[in-house]
Structure formats: C-alpha cells, structure tokens
Amino acid sequence: MKKLPSDWRERCTPFQQKVYEALLAIPKGQVRTYGEIARKIGKPKGARAVGQALKRNPYPPTIPCHRVIAAGGDLRGYSAAGGLKRKRQLLQREGVQC
C-alpha cells in the first residue's frame, strides 16, 4: 500500500482525523464495527458519522476503511473504486472470512 503524505491530517476535519487514526490502529486481518470506532474516539452514538467520515476517506486503502463492517457482520458500503466487491477482495487478501 502507498504511504500517506506527511500533510494528510491537514486535509481532514478534526473528527475525520480521529476516525482515520483509529482505522490506522486496526491490525491487518482484523475488522471493527462502525460503533466500535465511534466508541474508541469518544463518540459512542456516532456510528453514522463514522460512516460519513469513511465515505470521505481521501486515501483508501492506505487508511484502511475496508476494515470497518456493520454490527451484524455485513460489509456495507465502500465508496472507493470497485465498491463492495473490492472491499471483500481486500479483506480476503488479509485473511478475513467474509
């Protein structure tokens, strides 16, 4: 994967920065839910806002938004090129069963 530009944080809102930093902490081969990310950044009712931040992710898959799934285990949206098919491929490449 590509390396993030040194100024990537300047291109994001403070909320997006928190979300993206939480994503960067998810180990390869693991997933988290939108709600787990929201709780991790101190916004326990912010799962939908997390989803909106992921939708605006300027650096997929370097900022690994593909590692975030719905609470029920569904893959849900992936707005980067290739959509859900690409999300599934990325996760399977990392060893995630989906």
Active site residues: 65
Question: SS3 of 72, please?
Answer: coil
- Please spell the DSSP secondary structure of 46-93, one letter per residue: -HHHHHHHHHT-SSTTTS-GGGEE-TTS------STTHHHHHHHHHHH
CB 62 within 8 A of CB 3: yes
